[in-house]
A and B are shown apart, each in its own frame.
Chain A
């Protein structure tokens, strides 16, 4: 059974600081996703990581994937208040429908 563990679950950080969210998964998968969710809203796709060593960056967010370690990281650089949201990682399950298994989410609050 595929399990996805995300940590930390809660993160308060000051504006301008850097931090990393970690996502570990238990079995082999060839796709890892990062999503952002604002309160009361749906999920917004941030990154899709397809291969070992993949790195993608968008603004102050950078995601990487190490398939051998079954680990993905979402690094936040010089945080700003607008980044406050809940971040989820999710992994494709093997099989034709490839349904997603999600981590529990990291609730990020960026303080002034």
Chain B
């Protein structure tokens, strides 16, 4: 089974901090995604990557950036965290049969 690992389950950060959320997959998949999940809004796509060093904006990229230096790792960066970025963040990896999601990082910005 594909495994998608998000390094932190819970994070509390201060407003203005630079925040790194890490995601690692173990199956050499090319496509990886970052979503945020908020009540009543479902999951919304922040950024995705289809290969090393390749990235594209999703639907809500403002305030975020990403990095993919190695195929297995896709990082989400909050350049200057704000309280409206308090959310659940889910990473996903795509394979032929569908997607595998990580366990999520619940980020609170205070």
0/1 string, A4-19, CB within 8 A of B gives 1: 1010010000000000
Residues of A84-112 whose CB lies within 8 A of B:
88, 90, 96-105
Q: Could you tell me how many residues of chain A have their Cβ less than 8 Å away from some Cβ of chain B?
A: 22
A90–B44 CA distance with the chains assembled, in angstroms: 11
Q: Interface range on chain B: under 10, 10 to 19, 20 to 34, or 35 or more?
A: 20 to 34
Which of A88, A98, A103 interacts with B94 by CB under 8 Å? A98
Indicate whether B101 reaches chain A with its CB closer than 8 angstroms: yes
Our pick among A48, A97, A102, A104 for the contact of B31 (Cβ within 8 Å) is: A97
| Known A-B contacts A97-B50, A98-B94; A43 and B42 likewise in contact (beta carbons under 8 Å) | no
Digitize A37-53: 1 where CB-to-B-CB distance is under 8 Å, 0 elsewhere. Answer: 00011110100100000
Complex Cα distance, B106 from A102, in Å, reads: 19
Q: List chain A residues, Cβ under 8 A from B35.
A: 102
**C-alpha spacing A43/B44, complex, angstroms:** 14
Known: A43-B101, A45-B99. A96 touches B40 (CB 8 A): no
**Known contacts being A45-B98, A45-B99, A97-B31, is A103 close to B50, with CB within 8 Å?**
no
**Interface flag for A33 (CB, 8 Å):** yes
Q: Cβ of A33 and Cβ of B99 under 8 Å apart?
A: yes
Q: Which residues of A contact B45 (CB under 8 A)?
A: 99-101
Q: B104 — which chain A residues lie within 8 A by C-beta?
A: 41-42
Q: Which of B31, B48, B99 has the most CB of A within 10 A?
A: B99
A104 to B42, CA, bound (A): 4
Verify A88–B43 contact, CB threshold 8 A: yes
- Which residues of chain B come closer than 8 Å to A45, judged between CB atoms? 98-100
In the complex the two chains form, is A102's CB within 8 Å of B99's CB? no
Interface residues of B (CB under 8 A from A): 31, 33, 35, 40-45, 48, 50, 56, 58, 90, 92, 94, 97-104, 106
